[in-house]
Structures are given as C-alpha cells and as structure tokens.
Amino acid sequence: MRQMRSLSSLADDNRPLSRKGRIRGVLMAVTAHGAIIAGLWAVHSSLPLPPETPDMVVTLVQDPPPSVAPDPKPADPKLAAAPPKRKAKTVVKPPTEVKPVYARQAPVPKWGPEVSELDLFGATKVGNGSGAGGGMCDTARMVQAALRKDHLVLNAVKGAGGRALKVWNGDWVRTPSQDGKGIAAVREAILWEVGFASAACKNQLMHGLVLISMGDGPGSTRLVIGTSTWRWSDLLHAR
C-alpha cells in the first residue's frame, strides 16, 4: 500500500514539472526568434540605401492641327470641254557618220620634166648634119629609127601629146609614172642600139641637145638627149 502511494505521488509531482518545462521552452524559443529578428533588422538597417532614381518628367506635346487645303477653284467649263493637247514627240536622229576630209593633192605628172621651145631653139634635129652624128656615124638617126619601130616604146610615150620629154641630161631623168630612172622602154632601146654601135660612133663628140622625133607629123612626141658636151658612150655608163 505504501508503495502504491509513493508511485502516485511521484506521478502527481511530475505533471506540474512537465508543464513548466513546456512553458519555459516556448519562452526560450520566442526569445531566440526575437533575438534573430532583432539581429536581422540591425543588419538591414546598417546596409546603405540604394541611390534614388530621378523622377521621370513627362511632357505632353499636342499635335498641330492638320492643314486644310484650300478649296479648288471651279473648273472653267470651256477648258473642261476642250480635249487635252498632245505633246509633240521628240524624234532623236542618230548621229550621221562624219567622213574625214582629205586635202586634195596636186596630181602627179605622168611625164618627166618637159623642155620648153625656147630651150629647143638651138637643139640639133636628126638628119640636120654632122652635129647629130651624120656621115658614117649617124648614131642619132640609128637610135631614132630603132625607137620608131619598137612597139614598147610607142606604147610608153603614147599620150604625151607632142611634148618634148627630157630623157637623158648626163643622167637618166626620172619619170614619175615609171619605175627607176628614165622611161624604161626608151632607155632599154637606146642602150641596145648604142651598145652595138661601133667604137667610133660611141666615142663621137657631141655638143648640145639632140631632138629625136617619134613621128613625122607636127604633133609627134619628141625625146631630148644631151648636155653641153657629151659622147654616146656616156649613156652606157650613166647611173
């Protein structure tokens, strides 16, 4: 019996102690939370405040009133009735080809230098005596006869129109229409006849000009050979 009482008393004694412990634990927890909150607040208050941003200023701008176009003038009934005029088309012509303008050149003479009648006044004609190589050595007559029979020579001087053409004056005269000096056919025919002449006829001394005619008529072409003093052999050695 005594033992049962002691146990019940002990149980009664333990009840108030457990309640006190609870209250005490709650108070301690509240105190701890308060201390934590107070510390956090102290830390938060000690932090620097962020810079204040300037206030945004908003200005209201009112749009200008729309411009009102003036009322168009009433159209003239006469102009409204008339049809619109057509614009003339502009025709662009292509550029014309510009042909170069060449200066006219003086015509090149076909024949060589012509001997005037004044210069021929003292010339010796074939068959007029020893001056033309008369006698046994009438070389001028022999040359004239050979030229009149040569068709190449006749074609070469054809169209000269009775001119007195200088063929040799110490050198064969250049003719613009011929290659080389002198009229080629005339030069070759003269050299052929003189080359086969005798030595006495070749070396015969001549004075002045000798006039060889290609025909008997008054309008025949004439060939002029000679200089102040010369020999027929000089024609063979001419350049």
Is the torsion defined by CA of 143, 144, 150, 155 positive or negative?
positive
Task: For 58-113, write each residue's pLDDT tens digit.
Answer: 566 666 666 655 555 655 655 555 556 666 666 666 656 656 554 555 444 466 66
3-class state of residue 142 by DSSP:
helix
| Radius of gyration of the chain measured on its C-alpha atoms | 72
Report d(CA 194, CA 212) in Å as an integer: 14
Q: CA–CA separation, 144 vs 188, rounded Å? A: 13
Give the integer Cα–Cα distance in Å for 11 and 103. 154
150: DSSP letter: -
- Return d(Cα 166, Cα 157) in angstroms, integer: 12
pTM of the full structure:
0.50
Give residue 51's pLDDT: 61
Supply 109's token pair. 């003479």
Closest CA to 137 of 207, 200, 45, 183: 200
Query: Is the pLDDT reported for residue 4 higher than 50?
Result: no
* C-alpha span between 196 and 214 (Å, rounded): 21
Digit-coded pLDDT (tens) for 154-181: 998 888 888 888 899 999 988 776 665 6
- Averaged pLDDT, 126-146: 73
Per-chain mean pLDDT for the chain: 74
Q: Write the CB contacts of 198 (distance below 8 Å, at least 6 apart in sequence).
A: 137
pLDDT per residue as tens digits for the range 190-234: 999 999 999 999 999 999 999 999 988 888 899 999 999 999 999
